[in-house]
Amino acid sequence: MSEERFRGELIAVLDFGSQYNQLIMRRVRGSRVYCELFPYNVPVSSLKKLKLKGIILSGGPASVFEKNAPLPSPEIFKMGVPVLGICYGMQVMVHLMGGEVAPAKKREYGASELLVDKAGELFYQLPPKLIVWMSHGDKVVKLPSGFEGIAHTKNSLFAAIQDRKRKFYGVQFHPEVSHTPEGEEIIQNFIFQVCACSGNWTMSSFIEHSINKIRKEVDRGRVICALSGGVDSSVTAMLIHRAIGKRIICIFVNNGLLREAEAEKVLSTFKDHFHLNVRYVDAEERFLKRLKGVKDPEKKRKIIGETFIQVFTEEAKKLGKIDFLAQGTLYPDVIESRSTRGGPSITIKSHHNVGGLPSSMKLKLLEPLKELFKDEVRMVGRELGLPERIVNRQPFPGPGLAVRILGEVNRRRLNILRQADSIVEEEMEKYEGISRIWQSFPVLIPVKSVGVMGDSRTYEWTVVLRAVTSRDGMTADWVRLPYDLLDRISRHIINEVKGVNRVVYDISSKPPATIEWE
């Protein structure tokens, strides 16, 4: 849990292991109400310290009958706070409050028709028939005292329940997923009609809160930040700069594995335009020398990571006394670092940003974005005045172009890939569907093939084009790009990039393939 939260309305989501936890939170935050994810066994004493407007019990894969079923303290139902149970969360509420849950004779998975028997607050201004997404093997067969059924399906008599007096509600389906078309409205009815939230969670309010928090935490100290030009590090640097000015020193390391003119763009934007305190380190020779002859992808990643840490540490030592290390940790990083069943401890993943710096530096972590999701970070970036080319930048791997060159990395191959990358970016920006694409980029593979250019035989390299859609990068599907766009990209690369005579398109999804080739 954050030591100091956004000072506004708060909905607590208790985590029972649902794969949809982040979707619940996105629905709530998308309605301009702040929410956080807590372990299912969070002490009630901790929740009482917060100004909670409501509690949502998430779904989960367990059954309340299991020996070690995850169950919260029954005391949460005595806090006087509205509660919404979703799927397993509803079964937990019924189980702990004296009702009865039993294995269903016929399990419900997929779309079902929900018939609303009593609209009330939960189904306020919604039609009497809804399509909802079911995913459960148990069902409620007896309600606790004070509850009543307000909706049913063909297989579930109690598909939605309520105790209006105590403001307890439950739904057997998943309103957070897109397969429940009116699900967003159901969640909004809970947070506005039941919890009486006003919706004061905005990025401008977050910025104001964060600036005050940073100033209080840093006091008169100094901060260093590894600036890459990506959206996370850029927003982190801009936000802290807004709070403490020149006392944040950004270190930009040019590892020689960047895109075309990337270093110049970063320096121009942050040093010249926004007047941040940026120290530029040209370490291209050092990185390429250590990568010479290395073909194994894991060895390449390790060398790049270790070299970056060495360069960053050396530069930091030149700055005198530094108190804080700023990192662009996001809320999904915090969530994923918790134990599966919501253990109380939170450990930030060591691979995030520069999380391998020597302990001898003795720096405190400053993570101003750790309460935000990616799209919220982009919104903060816009509020801070960052250009769209940074705010909407596609994810770019930490090791840079090195993982998009199969085999050895050298200057010639980097130059070929940079040119191809620049062309792909130029052509994709003209594509009307670019906003739906998670990543689009070329890969240089160490395969030569015979070709014909003019009247001459060629024997040159192959470039692979990769374009995928994804929600979070965990899974991805290849994009069905128009043939004419593929044709333009292919001809553009082959005509202008010396050393390439063949372009192919990767039509693999993740899984089984990964998004990046290495």
Q: Report the distance separating Cα 503 and Cα 86, nearest Å.
A: 48
Whether 261 and 230 have beta carbons less than 8 Å apart is answered as no
Strand order in 10-15's β-sheet?
34-39, 10-15, 52-57, 83-86, 168-171, 160-163, 148-152, 100-116, 129-142
Residue 68 tokens, joined: 């070690």
Mention every residue, 6+ apart, whose C-beta is less than 8 A from residue 133: 110, 111, 112, 173, 174, 177, 179, 180, 183
State yes or no: is 176 an active-site residue: yes
Placement of tokens 């662009």 in the chain: 328
Q: Give just the sign of the alpha carbon dihedral 227, 232, 236, 242.
A: positive
Q: Which listed residue (136, 174, 209, 352) is catalytic? A: 174
Whether 348 and 329 have beta carbons less than 8 Å apart is answered as yes
Q: Pick the closest to residue 21 from 42, 39, 44, 41 (CA basis).
A: 39
Tell me 360's DSSP state: G
State yes or no: is 152 an active-site residue: no
First to last CA, the chain: 35
Whether 444 and 405 have beta carbons less than 8 Å apart is answered as yes
Q: Which listed residue (87, 195, 197, 250) is catalytic? A: 87
Q: Which listed residue (36, 176, 182, 376) is catalytic? A: 176
Whether 45 and 76 have beta carbons less than 8 Å apart is answered as no
What distance lies between CA 175 and its chain's CA centroid? 20
Whether 417 and 444 have beta carbons less than 8 Å apart is answered as yes
HEC assignment per residue over 240-296: HHHHHHHHEEEEEEECCCCCCCHHHHHHHHHHHHCCCEEEEEECHHHHHHHHCCCCC
Catalytic residues: 87, 174, 176
